[in-house]
């Protein structure tokens, strides 16, 4: 999901959806806490004073005040709490309450998954994605969560293991790892699935649902055993993709994406390809 703005006490905090959670602009958080005329300098001093704060940050491109897209340090909810603790401010409590409200929203969505699904769909509608694409994208989110839940049952909890297993499924399915697939589309750290075509989303979901089904059937513990399942499932989905391409003449992996999304339209209309 692309950048979103959150109004807080008349100020805005930029955020971006990544790895199924929100990341917030640290300089925007600093600005809210300190009213500093130069929150970038304040953050630079804080990083030098407490280098551990960098461990909770990731860098994403976000729209600056002049409209340009620039990389900025971002932190998830846990990271923002840590940064708040490093910045003495009377505004810390309102910010904590705001973060707590986000936590309550997450709990509500866990208890009622339909709330989460609808919120995700609304976020994409706000960006102008067409309804057919939104349906496919939400399906991939639900399929992905079901797969990671199944992996957790098998003792796989490390994010790096999830990344490797996911790349293994993708390589078997598309012949490309996610990073390679992103380069085909001309992406720079953006969420690949937010820029996939409907056919790419369908086969991404098929690969992960096949893996989930076979993982559940095998009921094997440990990373190595489940790596083998992911690799086999990816190959199976890749065979299905090749059959689809042979019979339709359609190439599933495409350079088309939603980088230029402006108020909806078909994916062909929004292609970055030059005619």
CB–CB of 108/115 below 8 Å? yes
% of the chain at pLDDT higher than 70: 79
State pLDDT tens for residues 55-85: 778 888 888 878 788 899 998 887 888 888 7
Rounded to 5°, angle at Cα 189 from 186 and 195: 55
Residue 82 CA from chain centroid, whole number: 22
State pLDDT tens for residues 145-187: 899 999 999 999 888 899 999 999 999 999 999 999 999 998 8
Average pLDDT, the chain: 81
pLDDT value of residue 228: 97
State pLDDT tens for residues 246-255: 999 999 999 9
pLDDT value of residue 159: 81
Structure tokens at 194: 């937010």
CA 209 – CA 139 distance, rounded (Å): 10
Which of helix, strand or coil describes residue 84? helix
3-state SS, 171-223, equals: HHHHCCCHHHHHHHCCCCCCCHHHHCCHHHHHHHHHHHHHHHHHHHHHCCCCH
Which one, of 169, 155, 167, lies nearest residue 223 by Cα? 155
pLDDT at 130 over 50: yes
pLDDT value of residue 110: 44
């Amino acid at each position: 999901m692309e950048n979103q703005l959150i109004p807080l006490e008349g100020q805005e905090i930029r955020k971006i959806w990544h790895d199924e959670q929100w990341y917030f602009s640290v300089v925007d958080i600093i600005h809210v806490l300190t009213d500093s005329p130069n929150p970038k300098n304040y953050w630079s001093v804080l990083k030098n004073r407490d280098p551990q704060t960098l461990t909770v940050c990731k860098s994403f491109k976000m729209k600056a005040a002049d409209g340009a897209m620039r990389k900025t340090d971002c932190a998830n909810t846990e990271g923002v709490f840590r940064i708040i603790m490093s910045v003495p401010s009377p505004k810390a409590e309102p910010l904590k309450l705001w973060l707590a409200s986000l936590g309550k929203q997450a709990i509500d969505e866990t208890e009622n998954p339909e709330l989460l699904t609808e919120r995700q769909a609304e976020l994409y509608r706000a960006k102008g994605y067409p309804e057919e694409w939104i349906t496919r994208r939400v399906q991939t989110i639900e399929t992905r969560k079901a797969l990671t839940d199944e992996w957790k049952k098998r003792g796989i909890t490390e994010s790096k293991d999830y990344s490797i297993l996911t790349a293994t499924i993708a390589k078997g399915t598309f012949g490309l790892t996610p990073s390679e697939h992103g380069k085909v589309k001309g992406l720079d750290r953006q969420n690949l699935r937010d820029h996939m075509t409907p056919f790419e989303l369908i086969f991404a979901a098929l690969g992960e649902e096949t893996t989930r089904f076979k993982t559940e059937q095998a009921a094997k513990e440990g990373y190595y055993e489940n790596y083998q399942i992911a690799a086999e499932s990816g190959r199976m989905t890749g065979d299905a993709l090749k059959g689809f391409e042979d019979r339709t003449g359609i190439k599933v992996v495409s350079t088309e994406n939603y980088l230029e999304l402006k108020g909806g339209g078909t994916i062909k209309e929004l292609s970055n390809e030059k005619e």
